[in-house]
Structure 1
Amino acid sequence: MVVAVAFIAFSLPPYLSLDPARSRVPAPDFFPPHFVMLSLHVVFGSIAMITCCLQIWPWFRARYPRAHRLIGRVYVFGGCLPAGVLGLVVGVATPYGPVTRASDVTLALLWLGVTVAGWRMARQRRFVDHRRWMIRSFALTMSIITNRLYSVLFVILLEPQLETTFHGDVELMVATVSGLATWLGWVLPLLVAEWWLERGDAAKRRARARRTA
């Protein structure tokens, strides 16, 4: 929660200013609505991040089940779904090249898919499956944070190679950094989430085996 709030406090203000000059992503010439759609994506994504933190908090879920259900609806319909759809559009129009575009589009589709699957499982009262899908959704929701961390890391690592590997082409280096950061930013958290789920399932299977032995 602390990390999410700090990230939002840093990332959100430029997009609430309504000033395209403050955008941290340059708008492509071929897509004039880019800044508006990016700003809305950031706003809805911020809602998803804050509500998601409350949703995965075991104490909060156990003590306030009604609030958990209400906030869950906000997370899905006021956060992930609009942010995911807008992210899909913004991803297609990214100025950072085809590698980043492929990552952004894949991430948006997966984010929408796992979130809708989690919501459907809750509607069907299949709460074990609901929890599994929502852990995946949480990993993708928070992947923007790891994306930014990787961006900083790769800038530090690759900037000394600007005149050699990238032949002085800043745009090529930026596209390379973006491509690496976008893919690693969500793939690794999703793999960690899957490892966490499989680890828990394996522990349950061992416990059942001991009880029946």
Structure 2
Amino acid sequence: MPNLSTITLRRLLTGLTCLLIAKVVVLTLVSYRDYVPPDFHADFLFGREPYFYGSYAWAFYVHIFAGPVTLVLGVILLSNRFRLRFPRWHRILGRVQAVCVLFFLAPSGLWMARWAMTGAMAGSSFAMLSIATGLCVALGWRAAVQRRFAVHQRWMQRCFVLLCSAVVIRVMGGLTIVTAADAPWIYPLSSWLSWTVPLLIYETLRPRKPTMPRDPETPIAKDETGTVARATG
């Protein structure tokens, strides 16, 4: 059983993560004024005018609208309190999340990766990130359908870690501004570190046994190891 200091640290980290996500979502919403209509003097769109219109524009707008939605839904869906209190809404929002990631966020991110401003290194990172995010959702969805809810939980946690790369890379960008670091390799490296390091930390620290609180109103299911876990969907 975790001690008090571990619980306190976990709550602090959760609160900090939620605050950072809220900040990124708000900043993204505020930045819409630079994107609709497109202002090619804005930071992200600077230099993109030659190839913006057409398929890139479609992918770009899909991505910037789907991104905040998936982040907010991720916070809600990972809440055990919400899942236990509103199991029906957990299932509904989970389906919305899966559709947003599989059919909007991941494909648009994969398409945009071709035009990463700093070249192939960053582009390959964003492409791999899009594929990995979509794969996590697909495997999580399959596990839920098979009623392997402990497995489902782990895949969706991985998905959320990958979604939070949007937060991490902005934090890293802020640090480069504060430290006045301006080397051309910083952004490509940050694009990789923003999701590989958090995913590595998650895989290192995650519990090896299911941790989902039991819901007495749902049937019992087993994960792939035969461990009993309560079904929630």
What TM-score, normalized by structure 2, do the two folds share? 0.74
* Gap change, CA 1:7 and 1:30, over 3 Å in 2: closer
Tell me whether 1:189 sits opposite 2:198 in the alignment.
yes
Q: Deviations over 1:109-134 (max 9, x none)?
A: 11111111101100111111101111
Q: Which residue of 2 aligns with 1:167?
A: none
Q: Structure 1 or 2: larger helix share?
A: 1
2:87 corresponding residue in structure 1: 65
Structure 1: which 4+ aligned runs deviate by more than 4 Å? none
Q: Provide the C-alpha distance between the structure 1 equivalents of 2:119 and 2:178, rounded to a whole number of angstroms.
A: 20
Give the distance between the partners of 1:157 and 1:176, measured in 2 at CA: 15
Gaps of 5+ in 1: 163-172, 209-213
Name the stretch that deviates more: 26-35 or 138-147: 26-35
Contact 1:15–1:23 (CA under 8 A) maintained in structure 2: no
Question: What pairs up with 1:83-94 in 2 under 5 angstroms?
Answer: 83-94=105-116
Amino acid at match of 2:124: A
Structure 2: any 5+ residue segments left out of the alignment? 1-17, 212-226, 228-233
State the SS of the aligned residue for 2:129: helix
1:97 partnered with 2:115:
no
* Conservation of the 8 A alpha-carbon contact between 2:83 and 2:90: yes
1:55/1:30 Cα in 2 relative to 1: closer, same or farther (>3 Å)?
Answer: same
Change (3 A) 1:203 1:110: closer
Of 55-64 and 7-16, more deviation after overlay is shown by: 7-16
Question: Residue 116 of structure 1 aligns to which amino acid in structure 2?
Answer: A
Q: CA deviation at 1:203?
A: 9.7
Correspondence 1:24 to 2:44: yes
Aligned residue in 1 for 2:73: 51
**Maintained 8 Å contact 1:84/1:109:** yes
The alignment-based identity, stated in percent, is 25
C-alpha distance in structure 1 between counterparts of 2:157 and 2:210, whole Å: 17
Question: Counterparts of 2:141 and 2:209 in 1: how far apart (Å)?
Answer: 25
Q: Which residue of 1 aligns with 2:223?
A: none
Aligned pairs, number: 190
